[in-house]
Structures are given as structure tokens and as C-alpha cells.
Amino acid sequence: MRECDVAVIGGGVLGAAVAYWMADLYDARICVVEGEGEVAAHASGRNTGVVHTPFYMDPDRRGAMAAAALASRGMWERFAARHGVPWAGVGTLEVAAEEREVAALERHMEWGARNGVPEGALRLLGPSEVSRMEPEVRCASALHCALDASTDYGALTRRLAGAAAGAGAELALGRRVASAGRRRGGIVLRLAGPGGVPAGELAAGLVVNCAGGSSLEVARMFGLAGRFSALHFRGEYWTADAAHSGLAGTNVYSVARFAGFPFLDPHWIRRADGRAEVGPNAVPVHAPHAYGRGLADVPAALSRAARAAASPGVLRLVANPEFLSLVCAELASSVSKAAMVGRVRRFMPRVEPGFFSGRGTAGIRTPVISPDGRFVHDAMELEGLEGDSFHIVNYNSPGATGAPAYAAMAVKKMRERGMLDGLAGRLRARPRGAEPGWDYGEASGALPGA
């Protein structure tokens, strides 16, 4: 049986960042166990690519994610420049298509200030100012965020995993954690290779669960979070033909119709490589990797929801008429390009379905549902019963933006709880910080009150 000091489950952006900080701080055996043959195969390589400024995040409900996003922005920008990863400071317009939505923009200005967004980065614009900035956009008012940027998180994750390996972490790719148990007081992970073939065991002093869309399932292997459930929603995109990609130079979002749900409506996106897209929608699917399109998924998604309905949370959510209305709109926009584009036409009326002939890369978000039938808004951190596993669940958007600082804050919590005491003698005299040159103290202190 192989052994390591810390096993990080998941080679997405969060697992890569946790492994980087651990290897930077400790001269220890850190092993990233990733089920796929490469890192960033799922959400981290299949997202909108926006470097979000947390103006739209309620500081009372999503304070940790907001702080992490703000603190990570500069870290990513420097890292992207150093590695030649595309980065475009496109900015974002959040538009109130109708007068009744203007109050939401005012609230977002206030949330932005409370989340620490620098003064001057956010401005409320009237319709004529918006038209001067983006002639194709029609609205009652808009919030302009100059700080938002676009990048390629798949490329950043691959470089960060490389930096973690450079600092001494091992990447065990193509190894899925199938189950977890205890032996001689420690944790043993049973691994499976391609096709589910048993691929040995890994003993670890500490396990950090960064398994993205499967993180709740992994937490359950440790007897945690039994009353919570997870649902999977595929986000699909349509890519604008080159002739139409210049219709707007900024990202253009509308105020979310269902504030209680963790999705923005499909929007106009400027990718860092110059492409423009509309999306993502949020179509219920049965599994965290159900990228195939079409309604064939729906029966499987429903039957999964029915099974999950053993959890009263999902039953309550499914009985919520607002949720059902959202699901219907999302299904329509999956089947029909016109329906998807129609949602963007509310604020960009000249956009036509015919401007889009190719599908973009779909990604899957997996929000967690609480026992009382609500979407859980912030990420959840769970500590294993024996204090030797730490689980980050519900790590959704803007999780790619916030990963460097969020991972540093998580490592700090594990240290404060004594979960890394076994490695105390192996602290590096001075954290290397050579690559990517981030400062652990600064990043881990980003959470208010930290």
C-alpha cells in the first residue's frame, strides 16, 4: 500500500491550489488523486472564464467566497502574465432590463462596497451612458464593473498543478477514490483506474476533499453530510460567428430573475481569446459529468431527483413553483437555440439565433440542497469525525476566481484546528513562494476577521 502525508482528492482548480499551498509550506508527501487522466477535466476547464468581482454576492450569505474572489484576482493576473495564459480586462455590465430591476443594481453597489470592492471600480449608469459604452445594449440602468476580466481557467489550473508538482506534490492521475476506510488509526483510500478496475490503496494522514461535483458523495464516504443532497445542472453555451462577436465588447449580464437560486440568467460573454458566446443555462442532469445534450437526460435526472427525494430537502425544492418555473425555462433553452438567445435579446435586441452556429463547451454545476429544501449559498467546509479529513463541498461559482485565496484560507483553518500538527517538524524554514510567487500570509488572511 502506498502512503502519503496528505491526499488531496480532485485535480480541479481548488485541489491544485490546496496542493500548491501544502507543498509550499511543508516538506511532506502531498498526493493529488484525480480520477481523470488530466487535471481540469471538469468544472475548472468548462466554465465561463470570468474573473468575477464580488459585487453581486450578498456579504451576509456568501462572505467567504466574496473575500476569496477579491483577494485572488491580482494573484491570478500575475500568474497568467507569467505563464502566457490569455487575460482580457473586458469589464462587465449588469443590466436592469426593466425599471423594477434597478433596485437590485443599487443593492449590488452596496454589496460591492461591503465586500471591499475598491471605490471607483463600480459605477451605476443611465441608459444613455450605457448606449455610449455599448450601443447594442438596451436597459433601464446598468452597473458597470471595470475590474472583471476573462481568462482560461483550464490553462491556469494546469499551470498551477505544475507549480504544485514543482514544489514537491505528486499528481496521481487516472485514479478515482472509490471508497474510504480506516486502518491502524489512519485513513485508507481505495482507488480505481479506468473502467473502475481496482488500482490499489493509498494510506494518508490527512485527506482533503476537493472533488467538485462529487464532493458530497466523497464526504458521505466519511459518514458526513447525510441530510444534504446535490443536484447537477449542465450549463450550455452558443458561440457567436466571428462576424457577430463584436456586438458588445464587455460581458453583459442581466439581473438574475430568481435571487434564491445560484444561477445567473444566460448572458453575453467575451472570452479571453476574443470569442463571444451566450450562456450558460442550467439544465438538470443526472450526473456531474453528463455533458451529452438533449432531453434524453431528463428522465434520468428526474429519477435521480426522485431517489434523492429520500432527502426531504429535494422534495421541498421540487415542490417550489419558482424552482419549477426556472427548470422549465432552462429546459426550453437547452432544446431551442432561439429560446436561449431570446433570453439575451431582452437587453441586446439585435442579437439573432442565426448569429450562432456552434455550441460552446458545456460545464456542470452541482449546488447542494439543505434539508429544508434551499440551495446552500456559500461553500461548506466539513471536518471528519476523527479530525483527519477536511471536505470542501458546494464550491461553486465564482470558485475558479477565488481558488488561490480560498485554498490558502482552508489550509490555514486546517492548521488552526491542529489537523496538520503531524507535519509541524517538516515546515519549510521559509515557504518557497518561488512559483507562482504568491504570499501565503496575505492570501490566507483574506477572510474578514481572519
Q: Which residues bind ligand FAD (CB under 6 A)?
A: 9-15, 33-36, 41-44, 46-50, 52, 176-177, 210-214, 218, 235, 280, 363-365, 395-401
Name which of 167 and 218 has its Cβ closer to ligand FAD: 218
Name which of 71 and 210 has its Cβ closer to ligand FAD: 210
Cell of 180: 474510504
> Smallest distance from the beta carbon of 206 to ligand FAD, in angstroms?
16
Name which of 176 and 391 has its Cβ closer to ligand FAD: 176
Name which of 31 and 348 has its Cβ closer to ligand FAD: 31
Radius of gyration of the chain (CA): 22
Q: For residue 130, what are the CA distances in angstroms to 23, 94, 188, 252, 438?
A: 47, 10, 57, 11, 37
Name which of 92 and 311 has its Cβ closer to ligand FAD: 92
Strands (E), 128-197: 141-145, 149-151, 170-173, 176-183, 186-192
Q: What is the largest CA-CA distance in the chain?
A: 69
Q: For residues 95 and 130, is the Cβ–Cβ distance under 8 A? A: yes
DSSP 26: B
Cis peptide upstream of residue 280 (ω within 30 degrees of 0): yes
Name which of 14 and 167 has its Cβ closer to ligand FAD: 14
> Smallest distance from the beta carbon of 48 to ligand FAD, in angstroms?
3
In DSSP notation, 38-71 reads STT-SGGGSS--EE--GGGS-HHHHHHHHHHHHH
Name which of 141 and 331 has its Cβ closer to ligand FAD: 331
> Smallest distance from the beta carbon of 96 to ligand FAD, in angstroms?
21
Name the packing angle between helices 153-166 and 13-25 (round to 10°): 20
Amino acid at 215: S
In DSSP notation, 291-357 reads ---STTHHHHHHHHHHHHTTSHHHHHHHT-HHHHHHHHHHHHHHH-HHHHHHHHHTT-TT--GGGEE
> Smallest distance from the beta carbon of 41 to ligand FAD, in angstroms?
5
> Smallest distance from the beta carbon of 46 to ligand FAD, in angstroms?
6
> Smallest distance from the beta carbon of 271 to ligand FAD, in angstroms?
10
> Smallest distance from the beta carbon of 430 to ligand FAD, in angstroms?
28
Name the packing angle between helices 153-166 and 59-83 (round to 10°): 70
